[in-house]
Amino acid sequence: MRIVISNTSGVPIYEQIKQQVIAAIQAGDLPEGAPLPSLRALARDLRVSLITTTRAYNDLARDGFIANVHGKGSFVLPRSPELVREHLLRQVEDALAEALRRARLAGLTRDELVAILDQLLQHPEEER
């Protein structure tokens, strides 16, 4: 598993770690039962604090992506369709919120936004 951290992205480092682990799980790069690097090893490799990696792993466990087994490590949990759908729904909501922010900056009306969405729905091959 390769994690790349950006100090200039504006996204907290623990959140970058979390997002990249989730992406690896969803892509199948981290299959069910796969062990994650230890908290200390990941902190050392990324040159971040142990508190940062602990926060990322605790969030992943809370959200149902991994299990933290005391004395053994952290392991990828089976992917439930409901969990995958919920995570993707959150991503869609975030993307739509960002699109809406940009549309407001551009001065687009509701009707213009709906027309754009309708066009994208009618021609999915043109999605970017």
Which pLDDT score is estimated for 128?
Answer: 57
Which pLDDT score is estimated for 77?
Answer: 93
Give 32's contacts (C-beta < 8 A, 6+ positions apart).
Answer: 76, 77, 78, 79
Which pLDDT score is estimated for 26?
Answer: 85
123: phi then psi, degrees, rounded to nearest 5: -130, 70
Rounded Cα distance between 47 and 85, Å, is: 33
Which pLDDT score is estimated for 126?
Answer: 61
**DSSP 8-state secondary structure symbol assigned to residue 78:** P
Per-residue pLDDT of the chain (128 residues; tens, 9 = 90+): 789 999 999 999 999 999 999 999 988 899 999 999 999 999 999 999 999 999 999 999 998 899 999 999 999 998 877 877 887 888 899 999 999 999 999 999 999 999 999 999 998 776 55
**DSSP 8-state secondary structure symbol assigned to residue 4:** -
Residue 28 near residue 39 (C-beta atoms within 8 A): no
Which pLDDT score is estimated for 87?
Answer: 79
Amino acid found at 39: L
Residue 13 near residue 51 (C-beta atoms within 8 A): no
Chain CA centroid to CA 121, Å: 24
Element (H, E) at 71: none
